[in-house]
Amino acid sequence: MFGYEEGSFTGAKKGGKMGYFELAHRGTIFLDEIGEMPLHLQSKLLRVLEEKKVMRIGAQKPIDIDVRIISATNKNLFEMVES
């Protein structure tokens, strides 16, 4: 989702890899079943929404992005937040 830098882990591609947010720069990204997203990813997504920046795994500095996000879920998010 966020990409990675070269050498950030065993098996990382030479040159690294762009994440979905970088690939969607100046466009739209669709996140399906947002209600199933684990809490640790929710906090990273919130940071993307607030700061408009992403940090690749192993990176030293964030990357500016301009992305619209559309999301969908079959769950009642209001009930999930209240519980």
pLDDT at 14: 92
For the chain, give every domain's residue range.
3-82
46-73 core/surface letters (b: 16 or more CB in 10 A; e: else): eebeeeeebbbeeeeeebebebeeeeee
**Phi, psi for 37 (deg, rounded to 5):** -65, 130
End-to-end, the C-alpha distance of the chain in Å comes to 27
pTM: predicted TM-score of the whole model, two decimal places = 0.82
pLDDT tier at 8, thresholds 50, 70, 90: very high
Pair of tokens at residue 26: 């100046």
Q: Does domain 3-82 have CATH number 3.40.47.10?
A: no
Please name every residue paired with 3 in a beta bridge, in sequence order, or none if there are none.
Answer: 18
pLDDT at 31: 95
Evaluate if residue 29 carries a pLDDT over 90: yes
